[in-house]
Structure 1
Amino acid sequence: MTTADPVQTGARPVYESAVTQIGSQVEAFLEHGILIFFGAGAPEELHDMSVLHQVTSAEDGPRPGDTITLGDTSLEILAVGSVVRDNLLNLGHLDLKADGRTEAKLPGDVCVAVGPIPRLTPGDAFTITRSQET
Structure 2
Amino acid sequence: MTSPATTTVYESVVTQVGEQVEAFLAHGLLIFFADGSPAELHDISVLHTASTAVDGPRPGDTVHVGDTSLEVLAVGDVVGDNLLNLGHLDLKADGRSQAKLPGDVCVRKGDLPLLAVGDTFRITRSAGEEGSP
The residue number in structure 2 matching 1:108 is 103
Q: Which residue among 47, 54, 57 is the counterpart of 2:52?
A: 57
Q: Which residue among 33, 36, 61 is the counterpart of 1:38?
A: 33
SS in 2 for 1:8: coil
Q: Does 1:97 align with 2:92?
A: yes
Q: Could you list the runs of 5+ residues in structure 2 that have no partner in the other structure?
A: none
Write out per-residue CA displacement over residues 45-86 of structure 1, whole angstroms, 9 at most, x where no aligned residue.
Answer: 000000000011100000000000011111000000000000
Q: Does 1:17 align with 2:17?
A: no
SS in 1 for 2:72: strand
Distance 1:97 1:121 in 2: 19
SS in 2 for 1:61: coil
Write out per-residue CA displacement over residues 15-68 of structure 1, whole angstroms, 9 at most, x where no aligned residue.
Answer: 010000000000100000000000001000000000000011100000000000
How far is the alpha carbon of 1:132 from its aligned partner? 0.7
The residue number in structure 2 matching 1:71 is 66
Q: Does 1:8 align with 2:23?
A: no
Amino acid at match of 2:94: D
Over the residues paired in the alignment, what is the CA RMSD in angstroms? 1.0
How far is the alpha carbon of 1:10 from its aligned partner? 1.6
SS in 1 for 2:73: strand
- The aligned length equals 129
**Percentage of identical aligned residues:** 67
Q: Which residue among 117, 127, 130 is the counterpart of 2:125?
A: 130
Q: Could you list the runs of 5+ residues in structure 1 that have no partner in the other structure?
A: none
TM-score by length of 1: 0.94
The residue number in structure 2 matching 1:121 is 116
